A and B are shown apart, each in its own frame.
Chain A
Amino acid sequence: MDAKVKERMTNPMHNYLRPKKKFPTVWCAGCGNGIVLQSIVSAIDSLGLDRNKVVLVSGIGCSSRAPVYVDFNSLHTTHGRAIAFASGVKFADPQLKVIVITGDGDAVAIGGNHFIHACRRNMDITAIVFNNYIYGMTGGQVSPTTPQSAFASTSPHGNIDQPFDICELAIGAGASFVARTTVAHPNLLYQYILQGLKNNGFSVIEVLVNCPTNFGRRNKLGDAVNMIKSLKEMAITMDSLKSKWMKEQNIDLSDLEKHILTGIFTDIKKPRFIENYASLIKRLQRLKD
C-alpha cells in the first residue's frame, strides 16, 4: 500500500470522529479550524487519555463547533461562557480532563471576564483559542484581536481599535502555561497542546487560524494557501528575533510589528484552585476527626 494512503488510514482522527454525526463540518473550504481540531485529537491520542474522561467544552462561533464532530463528552455552551461551564465540570469532577475550545471573540470579548478569572484561579483546564482575527460565523465583524486598520464588516473604514494580545492577557491574569503558534505550524501546535494538556493548571494555547472567507477576503490576503503561507512567514520565535537583533547594529523594533511572536511564553508551577480546594477539604476533615 502507498505509504501516504496508509498514513491517512491510520490517522488518529479517524478513530475519534463521531459515527452518528452528519458531515461535512460547518467550516468553509480552506478554513484552518480542522488543522487545530486534528492537533487536539492527536495530542489526546498520544497521551493515551481515556476518551470517556475527556470533556470538550466550547462557546459560540466557528471554532466552537469543533467538539460536536469528535467522540468525547462534549458541551457546546453559550457565547463566551465555555470557561464558566468548564470550571463547573472540572471542579465537580477533577478526574475529568477538561478542554475548552473557543475563538477570539468568544474568549476575550464576551467571555473576557471568565477567561481572566480562570487564569487567576489557575483552573486545571486547557483552553485552545482559535484566533482568526474576526467574527466568522456572523459574517466578518471586527473582533478584539482584529489588527488596527484591518477591514471587517463593522470596520468598513479600517479598524481604529487596539487589539488584545491574548497571550499577554493570559500571562498577566495568571495562567501557568501560555503558548502561541499558527495553523502553518501543525507540529509545533501539536507539541504545545500536548504540553498544555500535561500542565496542571490553566493552559492557554493561542492558535492563529486563517479565515479566507471573511478576514482574508475583506483584507485582500489571498486564498487559504496564501494566508497559511503568510502566517508561516510572519511567525517568529522570541529566540530567533533576539538572535537577529544580536547581529544588528541598531535594533529594528518594527520587526515586532512585522512578525507574530510565537513560542511558549510561560510554563510555571503555581497554586491551583482544584488542588487548594482538595487540601481545604482534607484540613476540615482532620479537624473533624
Chain B
Amino acid sequence: MPERIAFLQGNEACAEGALLAGVQFYGGYPITPSTEIAELLSKRLPEIGGKFIQMEDEIAALGACIGASLTGLKSMTASSGPGMSLKQEHIGYAALCDVPVVIVDVQRGGPSTGLPTQVSQADVMQARWGTHGDHPIIAIAPSSVEEVLYMTIKAFNLSEKLMTPVIVLTDEVIGHMREKVKIPDKDKIELWERKKPAVSPEDYKPFDTDDDDIPALATFGSGYRYNVTGLMHDRAGFPTTRPDEVQDLLDRIHRKIEKHIDIITDVEYYGEENASLGFISYGSSARTTKKAVQVLKQKGINTNMMRIKTLWPIPAKEIFEFCKDKEKVFVVEMNMGQYIHPVKSVSDDPYKIKGIYRYDGDFITPREIIDRVGGF
C-alpha cells in the first residue's frame, strides 16, 4: 500500500507499525490501556494469514510468543503495568536465551492495579530491572502517535537483528491520543531479519557466534535440532554450572547489546544550543517539556532539552555531554523520580540534576514545569 495519511490513536499506530514490520504472531491478554492493540490485531492478523491468540494470562501470552518466535515468526505482545509485572519472568527467559520478541507496555499508574485508565511513566525502572538476574534489555519510548508506529518497526528490527527482547514504553496518553500519522509505503520500509545458521546441522552450536556476539537460532523444524533452556547453558545449548561457561554466556548477551549501541541509541535535541539550563525527558512528558522550553524562550529564558528515545541501554555518553556545561538539568517524568537516577549516575555532577515529577494520574503541564524551574 502506498504512503497515506491517517488519523490514528497511539495503540492503533502500534498495530499498524507491527503489521508494517511484518508481525506474524500476537499472544495477548486484555488490559487497559493497551487493549486496542490486541483488538486490532485480532481482526487484522487472521485476514493476512497471521496468528492471533488470547492466552489465559500475561505469563502465557509472552510464553506463547517465545515459542512462536522459535518457529521463526515475528512475535509480539502488549500490556500495561500489572501485566508487565507478570511478563517479567519471560522477559528474562527471552533475554537469556537470545529469543527475539517485542513487548509493548502502555504505561498506567501503579503500583498494583493503580490507575488503570490514567497516565504514568512509572514502569521505566521495571522495564530495565523488572526481571531477576543480570540481563541486557532494550527499551524505547515514543513521544507521538506517529513515532509509536516507527518505533514499533524499530523494535522489531532491533529484536530480530540482535536476537533479544525489546520493550516499547508508551503510555495511556500516547496510546489513546489521536494524531495525524503518515503511514509509510510498506515497500519502502527497511526491515532487518534474524540471522540464519551458516553451518550444517552436524556442526551447529546454537549459541556460538561470530564477533558480533549474535547467535543464529535456527527455526524449530528446519532440521537443526537443538536445546533451548532457561538454565545457564553452554554454546551448544546444554545446561551448565561451569563458571567459565556461565560467565561467557552472561558476558556475551551483554556484549551483544554494547557492540551494537550505535543502532540502538537514539536521542533528540531541542532549544538554544548553549543554554545553561537544560531538560531531559522522554515519551509523552517530553512533549510538555518542549512546550515549556518554547514558553521560557518567549519570556527571555534560554533553555534546551534532550529527548531520550532509547531509554535502555542508557545513552550515557550523550547525557554526559548534554549535562557537562550546564548549571542545572531538570529531568521531567511522570513518576516519583525514576530515570533521574541513571541520569545522575552518568552526569558530571549529580547535584545539579533536579527532578520535575507528576504522578497523580493527570498529565504534566508546561505551567507546572515552568513553575518548578523557578523554584530550584
Interface residues of A (CB under 8 A from B): 18, 20-22, 51-53, 55, 57, 67-68, 71-78, 81, 84-93, 95-96, 113-114, 117, 273, 277, 280-281, 284-285, 288
Closest to B25 in A: A92
Asked if B102 lies at the interface with its beta carbon under 8 angstroms from chain A, I say: no
Closest to A64 in B: B229
Most chain B CB neighbours (cut-off 10 Å) among A55, A89, A273, A288: A89
Q: With A78-B230, A113-B56 as given contacts, are A68 and B67 in contact (CB-CB < 8 Å)?
A: no
Contact A92 B71 (CB under 8 A): yes
Closest to B47 in A: A284
Q: With A77-B93, A78-B230, A277-B51 as given contacts, are A88 and B236 in contact (CB-CB < 8 Å)?
A: no
Closest to B60 in A: A84
Contact of B226 among A73, A77, A85, A92 (CB under 8 A): A73
Closest to B89 in A: A78
CB proximity of A41 to chain B, nearest CB, Å: 14
> For residue A84, which residues in chain B have a CB less than 8 angstroms away from its CB?
55-56, 59-61, 63-64, 67
Closest to B55 in A: A84
| Chain B 215-237 near chain A by CB (<8 Å), digits 1 or 0 | 00000111101111111000010
> For residue B73, which residues in chain A have a CB less than 8 angstroms away from its CB?
92-93
Contact A88 B56 (CB under 8 A): no
CB proximity of B195 to chain A, nearest CB, Å: 18
> For residue B220, which residues in chain A have a CB less than 8 angstroms away from its CB?
55, 73, 75, 89, 93, 96
Contact of A53 among B221, B226, B228, B229 (CB under 8 A): B221
Contact of B55 among A21, A77, A87, A95 (CB under 8 A): A87
Determine the distance from Cα of A129 to Cα of B61 in the docked complex, in whole angstroms. 22
Determine the distance from Cα of A172 to Cα of B51 in the docked complex, in whole angstroms. 27
Contact A76 B231 (CB under 8 A): yes
Q: With A86-B67, A95-B221 as given contacts, are A114 and B226 in contact (CB-CB < 8 Å)?
A: no
Determine the distance from Cα of A90 to Cα of B221 in the docked complex, in whole angstroms. 11
Contact B59 A20 (CB under 8 A): no
Determine the distance from Cα of A114 to Cα of B27 in the docked complex, in whole angstroms. 14
Which residues of B from 128 to 178 have beta carbons under 8 Å from A?
A: none
Q: With A20-B238, A86-B67, A117-B55 as given contacts, are A96 and B221 in contact (CB-CB < 8 Å)?
A: yes
Determine the distance from Cα of A284 to Cα of B222 in the docked complex, in whole angstroms. 29
Contact-residue size bin, chain B (C-beta under 8 Å from the other chain): 35 or more
Contact A81 B25 (CB under 8 A): no
Contact A113 B67 (CB under 8 A): no
> For residue A72, which residues in chain B have a CB less than 8 angstroms away from its CB?
225
Asked if B46 lies at the interface with its beta carbon under 8 angstroms from chain A, I say: yes
CB proximity of A244 to chain B, nearest CB, Å: 41
Asked if B65 lies at the interface with its beta carbon under 8 angstroms from chain A, I say: yes
Interface of B is mostly: mixed
Asked if B70 lies at the interface with its beta carbon under 8 angstroms from chain A, I say: yes
5 tightest CB-CB pairs across the interface, nearest first?
A88-B67, A88-B64, A84-B63, A92-B68, A84-B60
Determine the distance from Cα of A113 to Cα of B228 in the docked complex, in whole angstroms. 23
Contact of B227 among A51, A76, A92 (CB under 8 A): A76
Contact A284 B46 (CB under 8 A): yes
> For residue B271, which residues in chain A have a CB less than 8 angstroms away from its CB?
none
> For residue A55, which residues in chain B have a CB less than 8 angstroms away from its CB?
220-221
> For residue B25, which residues in chain A have a CB less than 8 angstroms away from its CB?
88, 91-92
Determine the distance from Cα of A284 to Cα of B46 in the docked complex, in whole angstroms. 7
Determine the distance from Cα of A92 to Cα of B71 in the docked complex, in whole angstroms. 7
Contact A87 B53 (CB under 8 A): yes
Determine the distance from Cα of A8 to Cα of B51 in the docked complex, in whole angstroms. 45
CB proximity of A44 to chain B, nearest CB, Å: 13
Question: What are some 5 contacts across the A-B interface (CB < 8 A)?
Answer: A75-B67, A87-B53, A88-B67, A96-B221, A281-B49
Determine the distance from Cα of A85 to Cα of B55 in the docked complex, in whole angstroms. 11
Asked if B239 lies at the interface with its beta carbon under 8 angstroms from chain A, I say: yes
Determine the distance from Cα of A90 to Cα of B64 in the docked complex, in whole angstroms. 9
Contact B227 A74 (CB under 8 A): yes
Determine the distance from Cα of A117 to Cα of B221 in the docked complex, in whole angstroms. 25
Contacts A75-B67, A75-B227, A92-B73 known; list 12 others, CB within 8 Å. A55-B221, A67-B227, A81-B90, A84-B63, A87-B60, A88-B27, A89-B68, A92-B67, A93-B72, A95-B221, A114-B56, A117-B55
CB proximity of B135 to chain A, nearest CB, Å: 14
Asked if B66 lies at the interface with its beta carbon under 8 angstroms from chain A, I say: yes
Which residues of B from 32 to 82 have beta carbons under 8 Å from A?
A: 46-47, 49, 51, 53, 55-57, 59-61, 63-73, 75
Closest to B63 in A: A84
Determine the distance from Cα of A96 to Cα of B223 in the docked complex, in whole angstroms. 12
Q: With A88-B68, A91-B68, A92-B68 as given contacts, are A73 and B63 in contact (CB-CB < 8 Å)?
A: no
Determine the distance from Cα of A238 to Cα of B375 in the docked complex, in whole angstroms. 80
> For residue A88, which residues in chain B have a CB less than 8 angstroms away from its CB?
25, 27, 53, 63-69, 75
Closest to B238 in A: A21
Determine the distance from Cα of A85 to Cα of B60 in the docked complex, in whole angstroms. 7
Closest to A81 in B: B63
Determine the distance from Cα of A18 to Cα of B24 in the docked complex, in whole angstroms. 32
Contact B49 A52 (CB under 8 A): no
Q: With A84-B59, A86-B67 as given contacts, are A92 and B225 in contact (CB-CB < 8 Å)?
A: no
